[in-house]
Amino acid sequence: MKTFSGGIEQECARHIFGTYSRFPVAFVRGEGCTLWDDAGKEYLDFLAGIAVCGLGHCHPEVTRAIEEGARQLIHVSNLFYTYPQVELAAELTRLSFADKVFFSNSGAEANEAAIKLARKYSNDHFGSGRFHIISMKDSFHGRTMATLSATGQTKVQKGFEPLVEGFSFVDFNSVEAVEAAVTDKTCAVLLEPVQGEGGLHFPAPGYLKDLKALCRQKKLLLIFDEVQSGLGRTGTLFAYEQEGVSPDIMTLAKALANGLPMGAMLATDEVAQAFTPGSHATTFGGGPLVASAALATLKVISEPDFLEKIRDTGTYLLARFAELKERFSFIKEVRGRGLMVGMELDMPGAQFVTRCLEKGAVINCTHDTVLRFVPPLIAGRAEVNRMAGILEDVFEEESL
């Protein structure tokens, strides 16, 4: 490992765009739910690369797929067929509502594709001018121009105006608000079934079902951004399964290839037909190496026993965190499903993230006051107990 005379922080600041505020830690190795920094200190990882490494770090099946894939074929472009891509698409459609898949390289790109598909579908069926998309306040859909325009948080949009036209924002969990926002220009409703970056908000019972009924009535496409909530995170392969409702279009990314960059947009046949040769493309999308890694990942995550264990661990985690809430009055609420859990405080959470890190646990804070726990899906009760113990120490110091 190369070291830098002035330290990695200084070297990074000198050569890399200042787009990230980083914690003063450099990780060099990972295995399962454990990370090690460059000083050899060990950490319990309850962030998983922000809900990415579902199978934990360097999972043997994924590593094997990457090793074999790297020896076999890395890239040929989408001018040709490649076996892992087609096999992965067949698996994703078998396991979901969808009939067709488009592969991208990130969540933002998957959402870009979804926005384009919704516009194109509407244009094909209803003529031009019907391109508005209703999105949610406090949503997050990415950082490209269209996806930041679709994101209901002004902090990601400020300074980049003019935004892409045609997005409006309503309160999450209100079908009435969507209904009131529909105009003759609306073509789709875009939302995360569970809001991640916006502070861990879960759908109220019946909300998504009623939303779908409204979309059917108004001839709008329903788009679920499951970039964060998908692939086992909430204890079912996709979060929508727990709501008894499926979308017309769904996007995936984060956990899809357990850390290699890959995204996907899935849709029903009916909707997918709006894309024809030349409608959309990306050089790297669905290449054989990442597709092989994703196949290995999906194979493990989609096992019913694996999903059941996520639900079990999640239930246990919520019970342990409920105990903490009883003890520490500054915890306002604990909410979660599977291993997607938020702990809302009545003060900023950043200091607790830093103190957890000092004590050897990686978590993060979203929406200022919500501590977010999205551990590897392989975490069990032992890891939950360690996390709860560290939180208890940190919270006790705060209470002194």
Ligand X SMILES: *Cc1c(COP(=O)(O)O)cnc(C)c1O
State the residues that interact with ligand X by CB under 6 A: 106-108, 111, 140-142, 192, 196-197, 225, 227-228, 253-254
Q: Report the residue number, 192 or 344, with the smaller CB distance to ligand X.
A: 192
Q: Report the residue number, 225 or 243, with the smaller CB distance to ligand X.
A: 225
For the CB of residue 163, give the shortest distance to ligand X in the complex, in Å: 17
358 and 37 Cβ atoms separated by less than 8 Å: no
Sheet holding 167-170, edge to edge: 100-104, 263-267, 249-252, 221-225, 186-191, 132-136, 167-170
Q: Report the residue number, 147 or 313, with the smaller CB distance to ligand X.
A: 147
For the CB of residue 125, give the shortest distance to ligand X in the complex, in Å: 26
For the CB of residue 192, give the shortest distance to ligand X in the complex, in Å: 5
Residue written as token pair 């079934």 = 193
358 and 390 Cβ atoms separated by less than 8 Å: no
E strand residue ranges, the chain: 27-31, 34-37, 42-45, 100-104, 132-136, 167-170, 186-191, 221-225, 249-252, 263-267, 331-337, 340-345, 361-362, 364-366, 370-373
Q: Give dist(CA 75, CA 77) in Å, integer.
A: 6
For the CB of residue 225, give the shortest distance to ligand X in the complex, in Å: 5
Residue written as token pair 């009131």 = 180
User: For residue 309, which amino acid is it?
Assistant: K
Nearest residue (beta carbon) to ligand X: 107
User: For residue 5, which amino acid is it?
Assistant: S
Q: Give dist(CA 76, CA 283) in Å, integer.
A: 9
Going by their DSSP bridges, the two strands 221-225 and 249-252 should be labelled as: parallel
Q: Report the residue number, 109 or 344, with the smaller CB distance to ligand X.
A: 109
Q: Give dist(CA 9, CA 25) in Å, integer.
A: 9
Q: Report the residue number, 138 or 392, with the smaller CB distance to ligand X.
A: 138
What distance lies between CA 174 and its chain's CA centroid?
22
For the CB of residue 226, give the shortest distance to ligand X in the complex, in Å: 7
For the CB of residue 381, give the shortest distance to ligand X in the complex, in Å: 27
For the CB of residue 101, give the shortest distance to ligand X in the complex, in Å: 17
Q: Report the residue number, 240 or 331, with the smaller CB distance to ligand X.
A: 240
Q: Report the residue number, 250 or 391, with the smaller CB distance to ligand X.
A: 250
Nearest Cα neighbor of 43 from 58, 64, 27, 62 is 27
For the CB of residue 183, give the shortest distance to ligand X in the complex, in Å: 25
Q: Give dist(CA 398, CA 351) in Å, integer.
A: 10
Q: Report the residue number, 118 or 394, with the smaller CB distance to ligand X.
A: 118
